[in-house]
């Protein structure tokens, strides 16, 4: 079975209940999905930034129950992310930049042989070897 890493936007949409089709697909593949330490950091940042909105912290608790094991960002992931960044930097200077956290997620997915689930496919298509799927069903 393939492994999947959901990017932070996909995780947020699932937690907010904004896309029932996406949530159903994640639920159907839950055993094959991994929570990246990178996405978890981004979600913790969002919760810390807005302590006045307690529902954010509650959603994080639900997420941690869904994904009790976090895929660690290890040395192999760091190496792959560095390779991705170097490759993208070698492209035309006018090329659309990829965000730093997205670079880390791409490297992380590559390092564990996972498919990256994201709606931002255009940001990741230039990453060699990265398989990307868009499970979002609603805008």
Q: Residue 129 in contact with residue 80, Cβ under 8 Å? A: no
Distance CA 31, CA 102 (A): 23
12 CB neighbour count, 10 Å cutoff:
18
Q: Does position 33 have pLDDT exceeding 80, yes or no?
A: yes
Band (85; pLDDT cuts 50, 70, 90): very high
Domain boundaries, the chain: 3-133
CATH T-level assignment (fold) for domain 3-133: Rossmann fold (3.40.50)
Sign of the Cα torsion 2, 114, 97, 42 reads: positive
Average pLDDT over residues 2-15: 92
Q: Does position 139 have pLDDT exceeding 70, yes or no?
A: no
If you average pLDDT over every residue of the chain, what do you get?
91
pTM here? 0.90
């Amino acid at each position: 079975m393939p492994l999947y890493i959901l990017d932070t936007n996909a995780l947020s949409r699932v937690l907010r209940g904004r896309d029932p089709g996406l949530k159903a697909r994640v639920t159907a593949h839950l055993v094959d999905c991994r929570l990246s330490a990178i996405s978890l950091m981004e979600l913790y940042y969002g919760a810390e930034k807005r302590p006045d909105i307690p529902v954010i912290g509650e959603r994080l608790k639900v997420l941690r129950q869904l994904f009790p094991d976090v895929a660690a960002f290890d040395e192999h992931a760091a190496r792959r992310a560095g390779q991705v960044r170097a490759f993208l930097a070698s492209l035309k200077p006018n090329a659309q930049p990829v965000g730093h956290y997205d670079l880390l997620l791409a490297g992380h997915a590559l390092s564990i042989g996972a498919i990256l689930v994201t709606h931002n496919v255009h940001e990741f298509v230039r990453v060699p070897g990265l398989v990307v799927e868009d499970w979002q069903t609603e805008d």
